[in-house]
Structure 1
């Protein structure tokens, strides 16, 4: 059984027991989070519910594992022959969640 959910403007394919990193959510570690924007649910080998755009009465429950930051990326801008260089770093914040149940 798996589902496709939308969070933070991105779509994620999730299954029970999976740990995934999503954009930062305002929840403490150990708290339960419910994703109600479920775009598709596949229950068994052949049955799938596809939403337009979301599946009605479907939800995915998850437990917050940790809050953290990704690795730093370097943003470097450069124009040749003009003596123009800019260097900037960025670390995106994330929330790691463990999927506990999928309800269709």
Structure 2
């Protein structure tokens, strides 16, 4: 795999720098089973052989092919609010759902750039 090739994608409200053959964690996709193949069309930029291809805001004909590995819950975040001298305390917790996916290939104009 060409380690020089990467893409900047937008998923789950975040921008990620992704390379083929690596896995990434993002906010939970809709209910998808493991080994489900997904296509990500929101590609903002591709770096390929020392040249940058930048979209405005997205690249036309650019696709990142990936597959779902598994979904899980992140560690619990505890929020504790206390007002001194008022005798009020509030303790809450939250666990974010996370999806781990593996990037298989980066395509531009039908050509696989990650080989």
Query: What's the TM-score bracket when you normalise by the shorter of the two chains?
Result: over 0.9
Question: Mind listing any 5+ residue stretches in structure 2 that lack a counterpart?
Answer: 109-115
Deviations 1:13-71 (A, max 9, x none): 10011111111112110110111000000011x21101111111101010100011101
CA RMSD of aligned residues (A): 0.8
Partner of 1:66: 70
Matched, 1:43 2:48: yes
Partner of 2:36: 31
* TM-score normalized with structure 1 length: 0.95
Question: Mind listing any 5+ residue stretches in structure 1 that lack a counterpart?
Answer: none
Residues matched between the structures, number: 103
Matched, 1:92 2:63: no
Runs of 4+ in 1 over 4 A off after TM superposition: none
